[in-house]
Every structure is written in structure tokens, then in C-alpha cells.
Amino acid sequence: MSKHVLLVDGMALLFRAYYSTAMMNNFMVNSRGIPTNGIHGFTRHLLTAVDTFSPTHIVACWDMGSHTFRNDLFPNYKANRSAPPEQLVPQFDLVKEVTESMDIPNVGIPGYEADDCIGTLASHYQQDAHVTILTGDQDILQLLDDQVHVALLKKGYGNYDTYDADRFVEEKGIKPKQMIELKAMMGDTSDHYPGVRGVGEKTALKLLMKHGSLDAILNNLESLTPAQKTKFETDIEMVHLSRQLAEIRCDVDLSCSLDEAHYRPHRDKVIDKFNEFEFKRLGDLV
């Protein structure tokens, strides 16, 4: 396929860029007193990915506030997350000015996470294009498909751990979509839901490979060890809920046509925005 869409997990890039420099107290405050370290790093990550993957189309996906339908299902979802640092807060809106200057659509839907927007667009675009998802979040691996690859950011710039569906199956022994059921059982400490307490990744993987699906496991609890059976029976409601929390939605009510996502930036417009933010060297990457 000649069309290649890069779906950018905006928050993942912004947070990674911010913390990689904030740890050294480098906030890159500009002459107006605005910290720009997250924006600068995000932009460099984005431009490096464009150079690496040569996409014909790009969309940036964003979280739109912290409350989503998952919080309605489970109020403690991500309840362990602290408030964003003071220096990062003004960068949430300003970073989108960079993507706008590059004529990259910014997509986000209140009540859903950026992952759900990525899942929906990937499902739609893969009918007509190859899709690469740029993120630092391994949860996205559940979206791997014949035409959908994932590039996980590694330390530094231009370093990626790139997955296709075959590599995932070879490493994990399960299909990408089964990652949802894996997380339903083992839970997710980052997102703060428990799954089946006492069942870790190793046991969950073993059960999935043996039985084929979570439903098959739940329909055959008698075949589990007495200890495993007790754990599943105790957390039977939570494992069903955790499956809903773990699944990235691919049916969000949003649209962004390939024509809108066509990447054809006007260099002068981009350089003007870089100059406004006082990014001296990034213009060389455009």
C-alpha cells in the first residue's frame, strides 16, 4: 500500500519528553517565562519519527481530561495518578499549536482516552493504508494487525521497538487481541485495577495458552487448581470489569478522513511557530 498513516499518541510523547529533561531541572523556559521542554521534546520525537517512517499521513491523538467512561465503570481507575507538574500544565495546549502549524489534525473525544481514538482510527485506516502507531505505551500492542504496526519509543530519539502481529505472537504465545484478556486476569498497577488478585502474568499466560480464551477459563473453573479456582471465584465480577477496562475501544464516534490527515506541511508556517517558541535548531529537521 502506498499510503502510510502515523498515529501519534500525543500524551505519551509529551510526558516522555517532559520527564526526560525535568529530572535534570531543565524546563527550557522561554523569554515569556513559559516552560517548553515537553513541547520541544515532543516536536523532536515527532520530526524524528517522520524521518524514520516516512508517513504520507499523520494524526495526533490526545486525552481530553482525566475522566473517561472507564471511571464511570470503576471509580478507582487511574486513581493512583498524581496531578501533572505545574511546569507541564501550560504545555498541554501549547503543544497542539505545533501540530496545527504542521497541518496535522489533533483528535480527542471527551470521555475517551487517546488510545480509544487511536484504536478507532487504526481500525478505519487499515482498510486503505498501512498504519504505524507511535507511543510508549505497551497497552497499544493489542491493536496489532496485518496492516497495523506499533513503534514503542525507547530511550533517546529515533530508537524504537517496532512490533508487528507476528512478532507479538512469537514472543507472547497469544494473539494481540488476547492481551485484553491477559490484562483482565493479571490487572494493571499503572491503571490501578486488580484483575484476579494473586494471578500474575506468568499464570495468566499459561491459562490463556491452555484454554484459548478467558471465557473458556471461566467456563472450566473445575479444571483449575483449587487455589486458582478460589481466586477466580472470589474476583469473578472484577475479572469481567477488568476486561472492559483493558479493552481499547475501536468504535468511538469520531472521523478524520485520510485527506484531512495528508501530511504536507508548509515549512515557513512551521518555522514561524518554532521561532515563536524559540526553538532554534528544530527547523533543520523540517
Cα–Cα separations (whole angstroms), residue 97 to 8, 93, 244, 261: 15, 7, 34, 16
In whole angstroms, what is the distance from residue 118 CA to residue 151 CA?
Answer: 13
The partner residues of 5 in beta bridges, in order of sequence, read 57, 131
**Chain segment 88-138, per-residue pLDDT in tens:** 999 999 999 999 999 999 999 999 999 999 999 999 999 999 999 999 999
Q: Would you say the pTM of this structure is higher than 0.85?
A: yes
- Judge whether residue 239 has pLDDT over 80: yes
Average pLDDT for 270-282: 91
Q: Where are the alpha helices (DSSP H) in the chain?
A: 10-22, 37-53, 69-73, 91-101, 114-125, 165-172, 179-186, 201-211, 214-218, 226-234, 236-246, 258-261, 267-277
The pLDDT value recorded for residue 218 is: 97
Q: How far apart are the first and last CA of the chain?
A: 25
The pLDDT value recorded for residue 27 is: 80
In whole angstroms, what is the distance from residue 228 CA to residue 233 CA?
Answer: 9
**Chain segment 1-59, per-residue pLDDT in tens:** 599 999 999 999 999 999 998 877 778 899 999 999 999 999 999 999 999 999 999 99
Q: Are strands 106-107 and 130-135 parallel, antiparallel or unpaired?
A: unpaired
> What structural domains does the chain harbor?
4-170+251-281 (3.40.50.1010), 174-246 (1.10.150.20)
**Chain segment 136-155, per-residue pLDDT in tens:** 999 999 999 999 999 999 99
Whose CA is closest to 265, among 102, 141, 80, 60?
102
In whole angstroms, what is the distance from residue 22 CA to residue 203 CA?
Answer: 38
Q: Which helix (H) or strand (E) holds 9?
A: strand 4-9
Angle CA(108)–CA(5)–CA(177) in degrees, nearest 5? 75
In whole angstroms, what is the distance from residue 115 CA to residue 137 CA?
Answer: 9
